[in-house]
Amino acid sequence: MAFNLYLVRHGQTYLNKYGRMQGWTDAPLTESGLSDADAAGTRLANVHFDAAYSSDLSRARITAEHILEANQKSGDLFKPTEIWNFREVFFGSYEGLRGDVIAPEIAEKKGLPNGQINTYSDLVAELGADGTMDACREFDAFEDAEDSAMFWKRFDAGMDQLRANHTDGENVLVVAHGTVVRNVAARFADEATAKVAPENGMVSVWTVSEDDLTMEAYNDTTTIW
């Protein structure tokens, strides 16, 4: 069994624009974010999707709707099925705070090089994708943030749903979130790939087998599929 997974990051939101940690906070898309969604739709217009999914956060659902509206090959497939398992990582008490404030604070607590950690991407470069999630939970005063074990438990359950419903050669669209896309790259490709922050509206492509994912494309904002 192997099907094709088109894993897309949603368009820009206001919290993306302001450089804030977003997680489960359901910020709306900006005008630029709607353009990101339409651009992804143009690039994917000629892919016949057998099914479409999104996380249950509006920024992912609306992006998926724009992609499907532009699609020329998928018949009457206009709405994604929402699966909460594909939500962004939950950042707990860090939600809504500026990433360039949180990252140095976590870096200091982890004893990382002073002055060299300014973004979530910098943390990933130093700690790895799983290590960064673990650090966010470790230092969240309310102990609400997801660590890597919590994230992968729910994500893997979502993938189990896809595997149960799709078969060889099918094309499946999933619109999710930046850290989700990055985490998948770190686990199933390599940590070096995951150091590259996924852009809004980017497309990554994976071949999904019974027990693995193989990367075909990552952070692609130019290919006409």
Q: 145 is written with which tokens?
A: 């943030």
Residue 98 annotated in ligand binding: no
Residue 182 annotated in ligand binding: no
Domain 3-89+146-220, what architecture? Answer: 3-Layer(aba) Sandwich (3.40)
Residue 187 annotated in ligand binding: no
Q: What is the pLDDT of residue 114?
A: 75
Q: What is the pLDDT of residue 113?
A: 81
Q: What is the pLDDT of residue 37?
A: 98
Q: Give the number of other CB atoms < 10 A from CB of residue 173.
A: 26
Residue 10 annotated in ligand binding: yes
- Active-site residues, by number, are 10, 88
pLDDT, one tens digit per residue, over 140-172 is 999 999 999 999 999 999 999 999 999 999 999
Q: What is the C-alpha to C-alpha distance for residues 27 and 23, in angstroms, rounded to an integer?
A: 10
Could you read off the pLDDT tens digit of each residue along the chain, which spans 225 residues?
799 999 999 999 999 999 999 999 999 999 999 999 999 999 999 999 999 999 999 999 999 999 999 999 999 999 999 999 999 999 999 999 999 999 999 999 999 987 889 999 999 999 999 999 999 999 999 999 999 999 999 999 999 999 999 999 999 999 999 999 999 999 999 999 999 999 999 999 999 999 999 999 999 999 999
Residue 16 annotated in ligand binding: yes
Spans of all domains in the chain: 3-89+146-220, 92-139
Q: 198 is written with which tokens?
A: 């996924």
Are the C-beta atoms of 46 and 70 separated by less than 8 Å? Answer: no
Q: What is the pLDDT of residue 82?
A: 98
Q: Who's near 192: CB < 8 A, 6+ residues apart?
A: none
Residue 116 annotated in ligand binding: no
Q: What is the pLDDT of residue 10?
A: 98
Q: What is the pLDDT of residue 79?
A: 97
Residue 59 annotated in ligand binding: yes
